[in-house]
Amino acid sequence: MKQNFSLPDPFWKRSLLSILLFVLFGCTECTSTTEIQNANLSDEHSRIPKYVSRFGRKQPIIAVIGENRFTELTDFMIPYGVLSSAKIAKIIPVFPKLGLVKMFPALQIEAENSFDSFDSEYPEGADYVIVPAVHHSDDPRLISWVQKQSSKGATLVGICDGVWVLANSGILQGHKATGHWFSFSNLEKDFPETKWIRNRRYIADRNIITTTGITASIPASLALIEAISGIEKAKTVASSLGAKQWNADHQSSDFYLSRTHMYTASKNYLLFWRHEKLGVRIFTGVDEISLALQADSYSRTYKTDVFAVSNGKQKFRSKSGLLIHSDLEETDPSLDSILESQNGLLPITSIDQNLREISSKYGKETAAFVALQMEYPWLR
């Protein structure tokens, strides 16, 4: 079943006509018509089961997968960066094929590991598979590979709308799961055999973990670190990110598409002659977490297009080893401005700073709309 893509997808811009109609007919808010399932769950669903070594491995093998045509930027880069920084596992970015990977809503990276090469090196499979949102969530090769990893005993982690890949794979049947607020109604309708839970940033049900919006990837990654290496290691990594806690508490009812959000999205997108072309600097050792958060946040204003810029070199290796492509040179005359690098800024601080800057530059309503898409409780 093909995913009905949610707000995080840039292709959702095609639905702006519908939003305009909502505005014209006076809709005050859009929420799920289904009854909210309260998350009165036992602690076991808020804690990821402790890692147990398999096949004599000294460290777990974690595959962070994507799809070459369009993979959600922060869904992919945040778990990859957070887990890599912990140095408790072998983290491997894996794609259906080698070559260019287009991230959305911005940036491009190089796929250096394919499904085939991973299977050849690790025939027993991964211990964990991180699954971000992708545009083609029903891609047969992607679905087949995820199913095979599940059958080999991997724990699957669906980040945000990565849950569509898991659902389309059939492995959520009989499980509890969660997802991005905008997708909830469609998930409930299309996959009734799964018990969909609100009010949890992440749900752990046996070997399946799912999360809410984009910013839930940080607490979910920390919870995974705790499961693998203990709470003290998780605390250390959390401190390096600026995170004070990583529990699963969440208030789903805070996130809905209001008339103000719809008006803001429509206005920003339709006033295309005012759109700006912004650059984010990339260089050797760039922090992929802060880079992703900055590029993603500004892209979601619907007032900008964001490009990776550099001093002329075509590719750069990030802090944790991703090969990121440069889109433009810094001197390209088509750029309206280049954003100040946030390299070294704590990721949690980076989220708030991006929203403050967007509020100052484009207005509070636009910043609130960005936070809504990221399912981040900004100014609440």
* Segment 31-43, tens digit of pLDDT: 444 444 554 555 5
Task: Kindly tell me if the per-residue pLDDT of 325 is higher than 60.
Answer: yes
Please tell me the predicted confidence (pLDDT) of residue 10. 41
Query: Is residue 67 pLDDT above 60, yes or no?
Result: yes
- Tell me the one-letter amino acid at 159: I
94: β partners: 65
- Greater pLDDT, 24 or 283: 283
Structural domains present in the chain: 33-241 (3.40.50.880), 255-373 (no CATH)
* Segment 99-126, tens digit of pLDDT: 999 999 999 999 999 999 999 999 999 9
CA distance 241 to 287: 12
Give the tens place of pLDDT for each residue, 157-214: 999 999 999 999 999 999 999 999 999 999 999 999 999 999 999 999 999 999 998 8
Amino acid of residue 140: P
pLDDT score at 28: 38
Across 328-351, average pLDDT = 94
Q: What average pLDDT does range 30-59 have in this prediction?
A: 69
Query: Is residue 324 pLDDT above 50, yes or no?
Result: yes
Secondary structure string (H, E, C) spanning the chain: CCCCCCCCCHHHHHHHHHHHHHHHCCCCEECCCCCCCCCCCCHHHCCCCCCCCCCCCCCCEEEEECCCCCEEHHHHHHHHHHHHHHCCCEEEEEECCCEEEEEECCCEEEECCEHHHHHHHCCCCCCEEEECCECCCCCHHHHHHHHHHHHCCCEEEECHHHHHHHHHCCCCCCCEECCCHHHHHHHHHHCCCCEECCCECEEEECCEEEECCHHHHHHHHHHHHHHHHCHHHHHHHHHHHCCCCCCCECCHHHCCEEHHHHHHHHHHHHCHHHCEEEEEECCCCCCHHHHHHHHHHHHCCCCEEEEEEECCCCEEECCCCCEEECCEECCCCCCCEEECCCCCCCHHHHHHHHHHHHHHHHCHHHHHHHHHHCCCCCCC
Exposed/middle/buried for 360, CB within 10 Å: 0-12, 13-18, 19+? exposed
Model pTM score: 0.90
